[in-house]
Structure 1
C-alpha cells in the first residue's frame, strides 16, 4: 500500500506542461556556433561589447541598461547570426512583461538653461560721468560770463546779402549693392580644424543619446525629441551611444554621415578630428 503519489506519477506532467522553446540566450548561442563565429567576431561586427554578448547568451539582460537597449542588442545579435529578430523580441516581451508604455520625457531630460547673473551697477562709471558733467557745466558758465562782460553792446553790421539761387545738383546714380555671399550647403561647414565636432538631429522620432569626451567626461545623457539637435565638441574624440539610431541625422566635422541606421537599433560610435570615415 503506497501513500501519496510517486515521483514518477504521470499527474506531474499534466500539471506542469513544458515549454520546449529554447531561451533567447541559448538560441543566439547555438546560432552563433552553427555559423562558425566566435563571441569576439560577433562583438566586432555588431559593436556590442564582449561581456554583454556573454551575458545575453546566459539570459542575463541586466547589463544591457534597460529594456530598450536589451531589445536593440537582441535584434542586432540575431541579425549577425542569421536568426529572425521578430520572434526573439516577441519572446523577450512575453517574458519581461511586454513593452512599457511611453513616459513623458520632458520632465526627466529637460535641457539645462543658463540663467544670466544680474548685473551690478557700475558706480565708478557713474561717478566719472557726474564729475565730467559738473566740470563741463562750470566751464560753460564761465565762458558765457566772460563773453557777456567783454561785449557790452552789440554792433550793428551790414545786412546779410541775399542768398544766391543755386541750381540743384543732379542726383547721383545709386551704387549697386554688393552681392550677398551664397550660403554654404552645411550650416556647420566652417567647424574648428583643431577639434572634433559632432551634431545630432532627431528627425521624426525621439532617441536616447549618450555623449562622452575622450577623458570619459559625460557631455550629455538624455532624450533627444523629434526636431531637436545637439552639438558636441572635444579636442580629441567623442564617443556616442544612440539608443534608437533610426531617426538620427549625424554630422561629423561638418560632413553628413551616410550610414543608414534602423529604428530601435543601438549604435556605439567614436569620432576623432580625422573623421568622418566608415564606422
Structure 2
C-alpha cells in the first residue's frame, strides 16, 4: 500500500473522530487499541503497528468506533493484509472481527510441524519407559525379599521360647511403626513436590519462546501478569478459548486462571519488553531479547 493511501485512510478516520468531538483517549477507551497506534494510523504511519495483520484489524476497529462502515473502509482502502490470517514473522495466528468490531486473534492454531509433534510425544515416551523400569525394579526387590523370607523361615523351624516369641512380636511392631512413618513421610514429600511448578528450559525460535515441559499440579493455577508500561496481549488455551484479552497496565496487573483441564496455553504479546509473567510463583523468562511483538507457548505435564 502506498504512502498516499496510508495518509488518506488516516485523514478519513481522524475527520470522523473530530466530527464527533472525541479525543484519541476516547477512541483508545472504546477500542482498547493503544493511543500510540491510533496516532500512527491517523498519521498514515502503518509501519509503526505491531504487524501487517494489525493494519486491517486496527483500521476496522477504529472505523467501527467512529461510526464509519468498516467493510467499506477496508474495501476502498486495501491495507495490503489478507482477509484470512497469515503466519508472518510475528507468528500471528488466526483471527476474526466480531459484530462489535473488536478484533479476536488467536482463535485457531497453525498446523504443527513433524518436529513439534515429535517434541510433544517424546515426554510421554520417556514417562512410559521410566514406568516400565520402575516396575522392573519393584518386581526384583519383591522377589529378593520373598526369597530371603523363605530362607529365614526354613532356618527357624526349631521351637523357640515364649520370651523369644514376645521379643519377635515387639520387634515386628516397631518395624511396622517405623515403615508406616517412613511411608507417611515419603507421601507428604511427594504431595509437596506435586504441588510445585517446574518450568524446564525455554527454547527460542523466530519470534517465540516455547516451554515444552512445564510441570503443573492437578488444579487450577494462577498466572500473574504485570508491567511497567501498557502492554497488550491475549492468552488462549489448547482449545482456542481466550482466557484473557486486553491491555495490562502498571496500575492494573492481571491474574489469569489456567483451568485444570488445560494442556497448553499460548500468549500473543503486543509489547513484550515491559511485561513480567509469573506462573505458580515462578518467573517465566520471555527471552524476547528486545523484540516487541512476541509469542510464548507452554506445554503442561500434570
When you count helix as a share of all residues, which structure comes out higher?
A: 2
When you count strand as a share of all residues, which structure comes out higher?
A: 2
TM-score between the two structures when normalised by the length of structure 2: 0.39
TM-score between the two structures when normalised by the length of structure 1: 0.42
